[in-house]
Amino acid sequence: MSKIRTAFFCSNCGYESPKWTGRCPSCGEWNTLAEELIEKPSKNNKSWNADDDTARKVKTVLLNEIAAGEEKRMVTPDPELNRVLGGGIVNGSLVLVAGEPGIGKSTLFLQNGLLLNETVTLYISGEESEQQVKMRADRLKMKNDRFFLLTETSTQTIFQEIKKLKPGLVIVDSIQTLHSSYIESSAGSVSQIRECASEFQRFAKETGTPVFLIGHITKEGSIAGPKILEHMVDTVLQFEGDQHYAYRILRTLKNRFGSTSELGIYEMTGAGMKPVSNPSEILITQKEEQLSGIAIAATLEGQRPLLIEVQALVTQSVYGTPQRTSSGFDNRRLQLLLAVLEKRGGFHFGMKDVFVNIAGGIKVEDPSIDLAMVSALLSSYEDGALPHQLVFAGEVGLSGEIRAVNRVEQRIAEAEKLGFEKMIISKYNQKGLGKQHFNIELITMGRVDELYKYLF
Ligand code: TYD
Ligand code: MG
């Protein structure tokens, strides 16, 4: 028996320290060190292939001599999942799927496991009983005779089962519930999460089996696990969305096998997640009459153009400090745009409450939404509706200039496709477009005051 030992772990970055300090020396966060019971893993106490490990030969190779091979991908029936993974599931990859509780992670991956009827899938559930998973599968109305379920939390037992079953895909729901008996601390603690994930990492790399690890995060992203795991896994997918809306977004935060900032969009229905292939049509509410404070932005999320409705409400402030509330849009960015309008356009937002919202409950990071946001703010400020069938794409700079956006052709094509008639873009985008002809009228502008003159 080796001696039981404790150490302090930072719940933010996973830093290990022999003594407690108020501030983590590694990431600088305050009050994140917590004591955990550990036992230093001795040489051969790993659950995955303990004996093979020492036998494996290590040698240095010349990079040029390594045979180039396309990484093998398993293309799933779910187009959105393929997209965020960069074209399918790569063999031997370790993928972390992080999201708030209740967002639909279990549903999505149960569903995808059931859809893959060519592959033996093992779904490890540490959270739900067999009956619960069965009930959910019934709700999804899917059947698959190569889908196996294991309700177990000990990694030793899990790997025994895996050796017997030899699955082609492993889904772990969730990594926080697992525990390895070589570490003494309780499930969900930093050292456990790290140990369990590294066991799965070794399993994935040695057998070429893809593994999905599901992990919970809280609103602030503060629960330890996923943050630490981000370094260990090949791909990090974040599942997000507003629980009060049906739309869910699967975003790539890190991907060793493809581009990041890819986006998959799903709709939560009574029978599981439905991939949304034409998001722009859904995100724009089709109204007969034009209302003030609404503008359409042509944004780009990853490779994918997305037309989004931006809503703003500007009202007289009743309190001394005016309110600035935003949902789906960065509040500091909103303050910045208001300051630009105040300084460069002479609009007095200082006396007004401002509320902004991105329709559909989605979050937008593309700065090209600025122009639509400014237009929506001006429209509500003036209480006048914007012209019909108009769409915006442009970033707004601190001096009130409208800056060029990347891949403007793609945005124009999307707006064209949805039947918009006019599009306002930066005049600096004009050059790149050359003499191309579009079926949409392009209006180019250099400054926000020109925008105001054009709109009102
Ligand atoms: P779940 O996948 O359990 O979330 P997570 O694993 O991320 O914690 O999803 C829970 C929610 O999904 C729950 O509120 C019910 C809802 N749901 C549907 O709307 N439709 C469905 O077909 C299913 C199975 C769940
Ligand atoms: Mg779950």
Distance separating alpha carbons of residues 312 and 375, to the nearest angstrom: 9
**How many domains are contained in the chain?**
3
25 lines ligand 1 (CB under 6 A): no
Among 275, 305, 333, the domain-final residue is 275
CA torsion through residues 192, 198, 204, 210, sign: positive
| Residue 10: domain span | 1-46
**Statement to judge: residues 149 and 216 lie in one domain:** yes
**Statement to judge: residues 265 and 294 lie in one domain:** no
Distance 103 CA to ligand 1 centre (A): 7
Query: Is 52 within a domain?
Result: no
Distance separating alpha carbons of residues 85 and 73, to the nearest angstrom: 10
Per-residue pLDDT at 393: 95
Distance 275 CA to ligand 1 centre (A): 15
Distance separating alpha carbons of residues 139 and 273, to the nearest angstrom: 11
243 lines ligand 1 (CB under 6 A): no
290: left (phi over 0), alpha (psi -120 to 50) or beta: beta
Q: For ligand 1, atom 16, which residue shows the shortest CA distance?
A: 104
Nearest Cα residue to 199 out of 217, 214, 181, 173: 181
Q: For ligand 1, atom 23, which residue shows the shortest CA distance?
A: 272
User: What's the predicted TM-score (pTM) here?
Assistant: 0.78
**Statement to judge: residues 441 and 395 lie in one domain:** yes
Atom number of ligand 1 nearest to Cα 136: 24
141 lines ligand 1 (CB under 6 A): no
Query: Is 66 within a domain?
Result: no
Which residues face 252 on adjacent strands?
A: 237
**Statement to judge: residues 18 and 128 lie in one domain:** no
Distance 272 CA to ligand 1 centre (A): 8
Instruction: Indicate which ligand has the atom closest to the C-alpha of 271.
Output: 1
Query: Is 293 within a domain?
Result: yes
Distance 102 CA to ligand 2 centre (A): 7
pLDDT < 50: residue spans in the chain: 43-44
Query: Is 67 within a domain?
Result: no
Per-residue pLDDT at 438: 87
**Statement to judge: residues 181 and 99 lie in one domain:** yes
Give, as residue ranges, everything with CB less than 5 Å from ion ligand 2. Answer: 106
SS (H, E, C) the chain: CCCCEEEEEECCCCCEECCCCCECCCCCCECCEEEEEECCCCCCCCCCCHHHHHHCCCCCCCHHHCCCCCCCEECCCCHHHHHHHCCCEECCCEEEEEECCCCCHHHHHHHHHHHCCCCCEEEEECCCCHHHHHHHHHHHCCCCCCEEEECCCEHHHHHHHHHHHCCCEEEEECHHHCECCCCCCCCCCHHHHHHHHHHHHHHHHHHCCCEEEEEECCCCCCCHHHHHHHHHCCEEEEEECCCCCCEEEEEEEEECCCCCCCEEEEEEECCEEEECCCHHHHHCCCCCCCCECEEEEEEEECCEEEEEEEEEEEEECCCCCCCEEEECCCHHHHHHHHHHHHHHHCCCHHHEEEEEEEHHHCCCCCHHHHHHHHHHHHHHHHCCECCCCEEEECEECCCCEEECCCCHHHHHHHHHHCCCCEEEEEHHHHHHHCCCCCCCEEEEECEHHHHHHHHC
126 lines ligand 1 (CB under 6 A): no
298 lines ligand 1 (CB under 6 A): no
**What's the count of helices (H) and strands (E) in the chain, helices before strands?**
13, 23
Distance 209 CA to ligand 1 centre (A): 27
**Statement to judge: residues 98 and 239 lie in one domain:** yes
- Give the three-state DSSP class for 256: coil
Query: Is 444 within a domain?
Result: yes
To test ligand 1's pocket by mutation, which of 107, 112, 212, 250 has the most ligand atoms within 8 angstroms of CB?
107
**Statement to judge: residues 162 and 296 lie in one domain:** no
Among 228, 253, 275, the domain-final residue is 275
Determine phi and psi for 256, rounding to 5 degrees.
-75, -10
Per-residue pLDDT at 132: 94
Q: What is the CATH number of the domain that holds 89?
A: 3.40.50.300
245 lines ligand 1 (CB under 6 A): no
**Statement to judge: residues 161 and 183 lie in one domain:** yes
**Statement to judge: residues 143 and 42 lie in one domain:** no
To test ligand 1's pocket by mutation, which of 139, 268, 269 has the most ligand atoms within 8 angstroms of CB?
268
Query: Is 13 within a domain?
Result: yes
Q: For ligand 1, atom 18, which residue shows the shortest CA distance?
A: 270
**Statement to judge: residues 449 and 393 lie in one domain:** yes
Strand extents, DSSP E, 14-139: 16-17, 33-38, 73-74, 89-90, 94-99, 121-125
Instruction: Concatenate the DSSP letters of all residues of 150-179 into one string.
Output: E---BHHHHHHHHHHH--SEEEEE-GGG-B
Atom number of ligand 1 nearest to Cα 270: 20
Per-residue pLDDT at 4: 67
Query: Is 53 within a domain?
Result: no
**Statement to judge: residues 294 and 433 lie in one domain:** yes
Q: What is the CATH number of the domain that holds 416?
A: 3.30.230.10
Per-residue pLDDT at 356: 96
Atom number of ligand 1 nearest to Cα 243: 14
Residues recorded for the chain: 456
Q: For ligand 1, atom 14, which residue shows the shortest CA distance?
A: 102
Query: Is 62 within a domain?
Result: no
134 lines ligand 1 (CB under 6 A): no
Distance separating alpha carbons of residues 201 and 186, to the nearest angstrom: 20
Distance separating alpha carbons of residues 449 and 74, to the nearest angstrom: 52
**Statement to judge: residues 11 and 99 lie in one domain:** no
